Amino acid sequence: MAHDLADATLDELREALAPALAANAAFDGWSHAALDATADAMGVDRDVARLAFTGGAVAMIDAWFASIDREMARRLPPETLSAMKIRQRITALVEARLDIAAPNREALRRAIAILAMPQNAARAARLGWRSADVMWRLAGDTAADYNHYTKRAMLGGIYAATVAVFLQDDSEAHAETRAFLSRRIDNIMQFERTKAQLLGRTTHRPSLSRFIGRLRYPAV
């Protein structure tokens, strides 16, 4: 085993192998063959590598997506994002994810196909939510109310749709994907503005639930 991985934990091995694993998955699929090739190239014992990915293909994909999250955060540190408006932050984060995945687009295509299988639906949903959550947190979102969930649900849907376009996009610098993403993020921003206006109009309205509560539990 390579010296720098000789004493690595299984978690550390997954982190180390995942980025390189994607390149082999483009040819061999998310399979033991791809994992063995990656382990050989990095000087890791094949059996140990397989132990790190006992969950099979989905575990490999999970680790690769997590590595993309880490690289995205590295490329866009807080000091860079803080100089941007929120729309620019989300755009930059999504584009960074796509740029990181671009060299292994075929691996991404195969990963999406595996996650689309019915037996993987729950795991796919969790991975999509995790990606959206990471992006919103890096963008500085601290919402703890229902906005926390609506923002992530919307961004998760937009990201999934953008990936679908990305996988078919042969335009230079993926211009079609970037244009699609821009339109979808415009939709989010419009929704947020409309929601803020509606909430502003209802801020001072009497609360029906509070009124009913007082009827049931009158103040002493």
Tell me which residue has tokens 């082999």: 24
Instruction: Return the closest-CA partner of residue 159 out of 83, 79, 69.
Output: 69
Sequence-distant (6+) residues with CB within 8 A of 100 are: 68, 71, 72, 75
DSSP label of 111: H
Ramachandran region, residue 84 (left: φ > 0; alpha: ψ -120 to 50; beta: rest): beta
pTM for this predicted structure: 0.83
Under CATH, which number does the domain 61-202 receive? 1.10.357.10
Domain with CATH 1.10.357.10 in the chain: 61-202
- Mean pLDDT score, 67-78: 97
Radius of gyration of the chain (CA): 22
Alpha-helical runs (H) found in 43-174: 46-52, 56-75, 78-81, 86-101, 105-115, 121-138, 146-166
pLDDT in tens, 168-217: 999 999 999 999 999 998 877 776 666 666 766 655 555 545 544 454 44
Across all residues in the chain, what is the average pLDDT? 88
Q: What is the pLDDT of residue 217?
A: 45
Residue 201 confidence (pLDDT): 62
| Residue 109 token pair | 């295509």
pLDDT-above-90 percentage for the chain: 74
User: How buried is residue 14: exposed, middle or buried, by Cβ count under 10 Å (0-12/13-18/19+)?
Assistant: buried
- How far from 34 is each of 13, 45, 62, 142, 210, CA to CA, in Å? 15, 14, 15, 39, 59
Encode pLDDT of 116-150 as tens digits.
999 999 999 999 999 999 999 999 998 878 788 88
